[in-house]
Amino acid sequence: MKAREIAAVVRESDDGGAVHVTSPEVGFFRAHVAVGDLVRPGLLVGELETLGLISRVVAPPGARGVVTAVAAPGAAVDFGALLLALDPNGALAAGEAAAAPAHVADTAGGLVFRAPTSGRFYVRASPDKPAFVETGSELAAGTTICLLEVMKTFNRVTYAATGGLPERARVVAVLVADGADVSAGDALLALA
């Protein structure tokens, strides 16, 4: 059974600076992002378990910035509880303004590398190994992008100049958090 997808709720903080991403319902929250990660609308930010049902929580419109706080792992949350705090100016300060959602990148002529199948996305072979790709990485045919875990089997995903992608490309942004579940066709990388 495919997990349902729900959008979190965005509200401005009382001080007017931070953006708060809050829970759309009660449950146990498991974050897929960490402090310092860039969040943009449509990004999978975590999972919410409610009465045994797992829901994929995505950042809603208006949720853009660098994560400054995250709910405790496995935290029980009520409707409207804080899941993430974002610094909306952090994205520009980090030079990540080009990390637009996939549908925006497509319409603006940007390039997007998409997941060939569903699975759990891993950007490194193990926690102590370097990332296969990161912002600024140069890609050529055969470059490993990630591992996708499907039913306890790890599948290596490599770059290929297919579907309108050039022979060589540069990674503008990794659009999925390490350990996040993705569906076939989800945008994994923004490319230039």
Mean pLDDT of 47-61: 86
Distance separating alpha carbons of residues 179 and 97, to the nearest angstrom: 23
Burial grade of 28 (CB within 10 A; 0-12, 13-18, 19 or more): middle
- Is the pLDDT higher at 165 or at 102? 165
Per-residue pLDDT reduced to its tens digit, 104-129: 333 234 688 888 888 899 999 888 89
**Domain edge (last residue) among 93, 117, 133:** 93
Q: Is the pLDDT of residue 15 over 80?
A: no
pLDDT of 95: 42
138 and 89 share a domain? no
Of 119-123, 138-142, 155-159, 173-177, the one with minimum mean pLDDT is: 173-177
> Using one digit for the tens of pLDDT, what is the confidence trace for 66-117?
888 888 888 899 988 889 888 877 644 344 433 333 333 332 346 888 888 8
Domains held by the chain: number: 2
The pLDDT value recorded for residue 26 is 92
- Model pTM greater than 0.85? no
- 89/162 same-domain check: no
Dihedral over alpha carbons 67, 110, 135, 177 (to 10 degrees): 40
pLDDT band, residue 180 (cuts 50/70/90): confident
Query: Residue 122 belongs to what domain range?
Result: 102-191
What CATH number is attached to the domain comprising 113? 2.40.50.100
Query: Please, what is the average pLDDT of the chain?
Result: 79
Q: In this structure, are 114 and 182 located in the same domain?
A: yes
3-state secondary structure 163-183: CCCCCCEEEEEECCCCCCEEC
56 and 118 co-located in one domain: no
Same domain membership, residue 74 and residue 16: yes
Confidence of residue 147 (pLDDT cuts 50, 70, 90): very high
pLDDT of residue 184 exceeding 70, the answer is: yes
